[in-house]
């Protein structure tokens, strides 16, 4: 199942980086130009886009792939009154049974 989701993500990436922009670039070229010139312009613009995406994504993956999320653990013990408290009592971490 993991391989399936890798495939889905890679296809989405290919669609967003290669196929969709290529269609936009082709639609923006001048219609009077010969088809060969239009395709060359699309390939040139696509190469510029791929370089910009690579320059952006690879360093961010190298330096931002790990994050430190501080976690503090609190333990709670049952008191004489039981685990349930009255709904009218104010509850905070200092006054409750949690430490």
Interatomic CA distance for residues 59 and 35, integer angstroms: 37
Q: Identify any residues that bridge with 79 across adjacent strands, giving them in sequence order.
A: 82
3-state SS assignment for residue 98:
strand
* Domain edges within the chain: 2-64
pLDDT (tens, 9 = 90+) of the chain, 99 residues, equals 999 999 999 999 999 999 999 999 999 999 899 999 999 999 999 999 999 999 998 999 888 888 888 887 766 665 555 566 667 766 666 655 554
């Amino acid at each position: 199942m993991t391989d399936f989701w890798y495939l889905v993500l890679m296809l989405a990436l290919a669609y967003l980086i290669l196929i969709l922009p290529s269609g936009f670039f082709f639609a923006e070229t001048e219609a009077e130009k010969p088809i060969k010139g239009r395709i060359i312009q699309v390939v040139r613009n696509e190469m510029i886009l791929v370089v910009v995406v690579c320059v952006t994504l690879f360093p961010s993956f190298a330096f931002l792939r790990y994050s430190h999320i501080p976690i503090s653990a609190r333990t709670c013990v049952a008191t004489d009154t039981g685990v349930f408290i009255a709904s009218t009592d104010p509850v905070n971490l200092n006054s409750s049974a949690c430490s």
